[in-house]
Chains A and B, each alone.
Chain A
Amino acid sequence: MTISIGFTLTSQNIIHETIDDEVVIVDLEKGFYYSLRGTAAQIWMEIIAGVPEGDIIRILSDQYKTDLAKIEAPVKGFIHQLVEENIINPASPQDIGNKPDQNEPHLIYTSEQGEFSPPIIEKFTDMSELLLLDPIHEVDETGWPNMAPDNITDKEK
């Protein structure tokens, strides 16, 4: 099934920036970060512009002069992966009014030429261990934490 409305970021803990042809997404809550390049970065641009899945497939099909059928599965799979990673959600009806004008061109990134290559998410989890452990385990009789430095698994270390 093709989702006919756009997508929104799941929370304020998802932040992102684009440099040249790469998008870096950071999940502040989980400590994960992601690199999207090539068509993945291109699709991300469309997603954050509020473009629905079906329109993204059509845009890419036009740009790469490739049959919709060849574009559809990898794009849907990519978007599904973003949803599974809890980075984006299908927009709710109240979000629709906030979508940008669908008549505006959304092809911000067009460095990929030639054949369409499937979008790939590169995921990094090396920072997540900093966030998984609660650094405060117990408090003393005054209410302040007992923190033996050896037990600290924090950002400071």
Chain B
Amino acid sequence: MVKLTIETKRAESSNQPTRPSLFFQELRKSFYQAHKAVGGTIDRYYQLGEKIIQLKFAGPALIRKLTPALSHLETQPHPQPDLTINLWDSASTGIQPPPPPWNPDDYRQFGLIRGFNNERIKTVFMIALQMIDLERNEAIYWIPDTEDIPYYHSIRPLRSILNWWMNKFQHYIVHSAAVGLPEGGVLITGRGGAGKSTTTLSCIGSGIKLAGDENCLISLNPKPYLHSLYCSGSLDSKDAYHIPGITPYLSNASKLDREKAVYLFTPGHRDIMVKCFPIKAILIPRITGNKETTITASQNNLSLISLAPESIFQLPGAGAKHLQIMADLIRQVPCFSLDLGSQISQIPGVIKKFLRSL
């Protein structure tokens, strides 16, 4: 069994560069060489809550792989972004990073690198290298070849970096769907197969907007609040056939016999997405086999077991603080059971009526 090591105790002084920060500096030099090799950077800006995030691409190769899922958050260029992420791939730029200063047995669970995760620096290698210097508000993303990027990386790009950085501001990514309107919405939590995606995607075109299907960002102060992260996701292809309205947004509609259905709500479909809202309630869906969909009060404890484990086990380094935030959220927000009926088209109307009642 590989032991998970979360090295949060070893504070790193900015005055005494250590192996992690020295390596981060080496990677920055490689990124500089990479964008110099391709004629400069291509910069994109995204607004997440009140924060501006700059993505600096060395050439165009990674843009089509990593930015579509963030497109609903894209904003105007900003002179002082809060976070800068430097991104490059070796195949299109010809620039390799320096050799890793760790050994093969330093790769731990989820690709966390032993000795390179502390209060200031976080490092994971999973498909791509993602490293952040939380003191400098700067991150590195490197992948050998963009062709190595699978769909599930493209539909939730930069998740580790964004989670680590937003944790600085007491914002946490949770594994949950969310729908609502700017004045208020609901988290939809549940284990796989409970009906999260069906519920969420059924709202397309209903007037209820989507904030996310699998990953959302939450904060608690001054009140429970949700921020949309990604405008893309995936679902079992057999489920896609039953959801009215999803077809125009499928990026692999011709391959559903052999792939999960991948959808993308690009800027042209902004009416579908909502960027943020106060969290008014938590819904726990379950498929009942009945015809009608109903919402009834539930015990709050059910929502912690349906929300917390999947959230924690899908984010490298997530632990006690993450669990505490989710528990605090559930203490502050009422929980309801969403008993899903067989008529999917009925679901958004029930949610809309429920939202009005809150």
What residues make up the interface of A, taking CB atoms closer than 8 Å to B?
A: 12-13, 15-22, 24, 26, 28-31, 33, 35, 37, 124, 126-127, 130-132, 134-136, 138-139, 142-145, 147-149, 152, 154-157
Cα A44 to Cα B240 with chains together (Å):
43
B250 within 8 A of A: no
Q: Are A145 and B327 in contact (CB under 8 A)?
A: no
From 99 to 148 in chain B, residues with beta carbon under 8 angstroms from any chain A beta carbon are 99-100, 104, 107, 109-111, 125-127, 129, 144, 148
Partner among A12, A29, A142 whose Cβ is within 8 Å of the Cβ of B99: A142
What are 25 pairs between A and B in contact, CB < 8 Å?
A13-B4, A15-B319, A24-B308, A26-B308, A26-B309, A28-B319, A29-B4, A30-B1, A33-B309, A37-B301, A127-B310, A131-B2, A138-B104, A144-B97, A144-B99, A144-B100, A145-B104, A147-B127, A149-B127, A149-B153, A152-B127, A152-B150, A154-B111, A154-B126, A156-B156
Give chain A residues whose Cβ lies under 8 Å from the Cβ of B129.
Answer: 144
Give chain A residues whose Cβ lies under 8 Å from the Cβ of B323.
Answer: 15-17, 24, 26
0/1 interface trace, chain B 165-201, chain A, CB 8 Å (1 if under): 0000000000000000000000000010000000000
Partner among A19, A22, A155 whose Cβ is within 8 Å of the Cβ of B331: A19
Q: Are B96 and A142 in contact (CB under 8 A)?
A: yes
B3 within 8 A of A: yes
Give chain B residues whose Cβ lies under 8 Å from the Cβ of A131.
Answer: 2, 4, 109-110, 313
Q: How many residues of B contact A (CB 8 A)?
A: 50
> A-side binding surface: helix, strand, loop or mixed?
loop
Chain B nearest CB: distance from A119 CB in Å? 16
Q: Are B324 and A135 in contact (CB under 8 A)?
A: no
B221 within 8 A of A: no
Q: Are A26 and B304 in contact (CB under 8 A)?
A: no
Q: Are B327 and A136 in contact (CB under 8 A)?
A: no
Cα A61 to Cα B297 with chains together (Å):
34
Q: Are A28 and B4 in contact (CB under 8 A)?
A: yes
B152 within 8 A of A: yes
Q: Which of B109, B305, B314 has the most CB of A within 10 A?
A: B109
8 new A-B contacts, CB < 8 A, other than A17-B308, A24-B308, A155-B110, are: A12-B319, A28-B319, A127-B313, A131-B2, A136-B107, A147-B148, A154-B126, A155-B316
Cα A134 to Cα B320 with chains together (Å):
23
Cα A148 to Cα B159 with chains together (Å):
20
Chain B residue nearest to A35 in the complex (CB):
B305
Give chain A residues whose Cβ lies under 8 Å from the Cβ of B149.
Answer: 149
What residues make up the interface of B, taking CB atoms closer than 8 Å to A?
A: 1-4, 6, 96-97, 99-100, 104, 107, 109-111, 125-127, 129, 144, 148-150, 152-153, 156, 159, 191, 299-305, 308-310, 312-316, 319-320, 323-324, 326-327, 330-331
Q: Are A127 and B301 in contact (CB under 8 A)?
A: no
Task: Using known A-B contacts A19-B331, A134-B107, A136-B111, determine if residue A144 contacts B144 with beta carbons closer than 8 Å.
Answer: yes
Chain A nearest CB: distance from B300 CB in Å? 5
Chain A residue nearest to B97 in the complex (CB):
A144
Give chain B residues whose Cβ lies under 8 Å from the Cβ of A138.
Answer: 104
Chain B residue nearest to A147 in the complex (CB):
B127
Partner among A24, A127, A156 whose Cβ is within 8 Å of the Cβ of B152: A156
Q: Are B152 and A157 in contact (CB under 8 A)?
A: yes
Cα A155 to Cα B314 with chains together (Å):
5
Q: Are A156 and B313 in contact (CB under 8 A)?
A: no
Give chain B residues whose Cβ lies under 8 Å from the Cβ of A157.
Answer: 150, 152
Q: Are B315 and A155 in contact (CB under 8 A)?
A: yes
Q: Are A19 and B300 in contact (CB under 8 A)?
A: yes
Give chain B residues whose Cβ lies under 8 Å from the Cβ of A21.
Answer: 301
Cα A33 to Cα B311 with chains together (Å):
12
Q: Are B111 and A135 in contact (CB under 8 A)?
A: yes
Give chain A residues whose Cβ lies under 8 Å from the Cβ of B100.
Answer: 143-144
Cα A118 to Cα B2 with chains together (Å):
35
Give chain A residues whose Cβ lies under 8 Å from the Cβ of B109.
Answer: 131
Q: Are B191 and A126 in contact (CB under 8 A)?
A: yes
Chain A nearest CB: distance from B339 CB in Å? 21
